Chain A
Amino acid sequence: MKKAVLSLFLIGVLAFAVVASGCVSKEETTPTTSEQPKETTPAKLIWVSTQLNPPEERAFVQEVLLSEFKKETGIDVEFIAISYTDLATRLEAEETTGKVTIDVIGELHGGLDYFNSKGWLMDLSNMPALSGRTFISTFEKYATIGGKKVYVPWMSATYVMVINKKAFDYLPDGLTKDDVMKGTEKWTYDAFLAWAKKLKEATGSPQVGFPAGPKGLFVRFLHGYIYPAYTGYQAKAFDSPEAVTMWNYLKSLWPYVHPASTTWDAMSDPLLKGEVLIAWDHTARIKNAIETRPDDFVVVPVPRGPKGRGFILVVAGLAIPQNAPNPDAAWKLIDYLTKPETQVKVLEKVGFFPTVKEASGALPAGPLKILAEGVAAQSSTPDAVVAMIPNLGAKGGEFKAIYKEAFTRIVLNNEDPATVTKELGPKLKGLFEEVGIEVP
């Protein structure tokens, strides 16, 4: 008898599952849309994004961008903020089963590169041309991987230094505020060290901060900023004598870096709380400091090294998954998001930079002007060595891990830089060989 009761329960639960999950109604609606594919607009586009996730940016996307898009095209879009790992899990599952619900993906170049290497993204080269805009050619080339147009460049960002104006009172000899603001010859890593030292001596505590926490982006500083500045390359000269000089420099800088740096993920809060006076971070992660107290901070180019001023340009792109349900409507959303007018709006409200030439001259009004000016100063320095995060696909994580390991061992554990880099160098170059791209 108990068996019968139990099986009744099970059947009941199952029946409930089928009804509540809506399989019945879903199957009814699919045929109608496939009969007239051109006439019907999808009920709702699903746009998943790992970008523009913080609360205020998200509110801006939903209330400004998407409501305007709906007015223009009548298409409803659901914006879903998601973390990279969740997105990867979800996309893999959807692509494996062939039942794709995601219409548009907004992700950083690195993630899209990986998804493409797995064959999960659509080739966009056959889509209609996007009129009224010229994409910055570096970005456009970067988005074409192995002859396939993987995504449309959407927003760009970089990493800069933010300086609390109080720090200018402690400038070392031979360095002026103007040098720092404009990024002249004199604004070098050595001058930065002298400044950091003077700040610590004058205030009694270290005043320089880096986001070297578990989710911080300090690794980008290593491979895209200080490595190119000292060796001229991100990875090619990983174990060169110049690299050893660079690691020794970092070792001598570290006593003047705030010890809590290894716990910080974003520098905006330490700056606002006055824990540090100088910080390096991604533009999106220091934006809040500038918006909250625009009179206290300036954004400046990073220092230069013997080989130039290394910095990274980050690109986020919009891609359509393979077998996506509504590629035409998705393309309309991509069209809208990369229009010069939209791009300027995004710059003004959330501080991500345009990827189209028509919008790239624009300077936002209000606090974010400080950010835009700093970034403009950085990219117009004559000694710029621009680095792009390499297209390593699935190996991107290992690439970062090698730099992190080198940093931990050399700077934090005080091992010999020459030995460590000699040990890790072949591993690093092996990654590029495996993927089959040139070592940057």
Chain B
Amino acid sequence: MNDETKYMLKQLAFYTFIFVVVAWIVVPLIVATLYAFAAPKDYYDPNKVIPLHFTAKYVKTILIHLGAWEAIKNSVVVALLTIAISFTLGIPAGYAIAKFIFPAKDTIKLSIVALRMFPIPVMAIPLVILYIRLNLIDTRLGVALAHTAMALPFVVLITSSIFAGVATELEEAGMVFGLTRLGSFLKITLPLALPGLAAAAMFTFVMSWNEVFVASVLTLSHRTLPAQILSIMAGSSGGAAPDYYKFAAAFIMTLPAMLFVFFARKYLITMWGISLK
């Protein structure tokens, strides 16, 4: 075997691998989209793999009659609130962990992560009782607070690693030239950390967007999209929704997330720390 064939084979293996990975992700999306709009007759016809007749009826029913559109709006509001609250609480904590040395720092860090250890279903009933007492039940803010509790540990850890990546010397230089500590944070560290923070925001957004358990337990009327879709698709009569409704629901669930990632993908790379040098 000469070098050229070796190289060709390597290339072939590489592209096959890439193809498999891409197909792994893209094929289900294509199938879900295609069947979301397929007419039932085509869908159930064993001789047809690709449907030829299309209808938007099922997507429309779910969106308009069954409240998925309202749920999308709720989801966005809840996700934005979650980001706002978890950032107001998480950024100072992340900054402190990154920049200061204080006793029991590692223990605190560990206990922040340990918060995520408790399974939420165990806390469901006390949580609902607490929410009813606080009049937070059935509100978007209530769901956002619960999502904050879930996202906060990650926000603290992600932001602390981002702040740790911004050189302390720059801040010190700023303070030498007359900035206060807060001023040097706002004018120097924050702008430098912004891409990383955007990534953390995205992470929080995605977590809130996907979360279903808390959202279904805490709300009846202001449901977020996953909770609404779950109640449409499953309910107690699990699996009773016909397949084409499930595909339509999958389409509705994935479309906003895909659009979001499409516009925000360059920030996602930042989360891995590539542009933060």
Contacts and interface: CB of A to CB of B under 8 A. Distances in A.
Interface of A: 1-2, 5-6, 9, 12-13, 16-17, 20-23, 26, 46, 48, 50-51, 53-56, 58-59, 62-63, 78, 80-84, 86, 89-90, 92-94, 96-97, 99, 101, 107-108, 213, 215-216, 264-266, 268-269, 272-274, 284-285, 288, 292-293
A97 B238 contact: no
A20 B231 contact: no
8 contacts: A6-B92, A13-B85, A21-B141, A59-B66, A78-B221, A82-B235, A93-B132, A101-B137
Nearest to A281: B240
Interface string B256-274: 0000000000000000000
A21 B46 contact: no
B221 A55 contact: no
Interface residues of B, number: 50
B193 interface: no
Contacts of B145: 17
B51 interface: no
Contact of A93 (B62, B66, B128, B135): B128
Contact of A215 (B134, B135, B238): B238
B46 A273 contact: yes
Contacts of A1: 182
Contacts of A86: 216-217
Contacts of B141: 16-17, 20-21
Nearest to A62: B65
B133 A81 contact: no
A89 B217 contact: yes
Contact of A2 (B96, B128, B135, B236): B96
B175 interface: no
Given A21-B135, A273-B44, A83 B217 contact: no
A81 B238 CA distance: 12
A53 B61 contact: no
B232 interface: yes
Interface stretch (B22-30, B154-162, B241-249): B241-249
A400 B3 CA distance: 66
Nearest to B44: A272
Which of A56, A78, A81 has the largest number of chain B CB atoms within 10 A? Answer: A81
Contacts of B41: 292
Contacts of B234: 53, 83
Given A9-B89, A59-B66, A284 B40 contact: no
* Interface of B: prevailing SS: helix
Contacts of A90: 128, 217, 220
B122 to A, nearest CB: 11
A259 B167 CA distance: 62
Contact of A94 (B132, B232, B237): B132
Contacts of B190: none
A89 B125 contact: yes
Contacts of B139: 20-22
Given A272-B44, A273-B46, A80 B92 contact: no
Contacts of A59: 61, 65-66
A55 B88 contact: no
Interface in B200-251: 216-217, 220-221, 230-232, 234-243, 245
A174 B105 CA distance: 82
B192 interface: no
B40 A292 contact: yes
B63 to A, nearest CB: 11
Nearest to B132: A97
Minimum-distance CB pairs A-B, first 7: A53-B235, A265-B239, A215-B238, A93-B128, A50-B236, A23-B135, A272-B44
A267 to B, nearest CB: 10
B271 to A, nearest CB: 25
B18 interface: no
A62 B67 CA distance: 11
Interface in B7-66: 40-41, 44, 46, 58, 61-62, 65-66
A403 B137 CA distance: 39
Nearest to B128: A93
A216 B240 CA distance: 10
Contacts of A216: 239
Interface centre among A13, A26, A84 (most CB of B within 10 A): A13
B188 interface: no
A285 B240 CA distance: 6
Contacts of A13: 85, 88-89
Given A17-B145, A20-B139, A84 B236 contact: yes
A86 B137 CA distance: 14
Contacts of A48: 220
Nearest to A82: B231
A96 B142 contact: no
A256 B235 CA distance: 31
B97 to A, nearest CB: 13
A46 B221 CA distance: 9
A213 B142 CA distance: 35
A21 B137 CA distance: 8
Contact of A268 (B135, B235, B242): B242
B138 interface: yes
Contacts of A99: 132-133
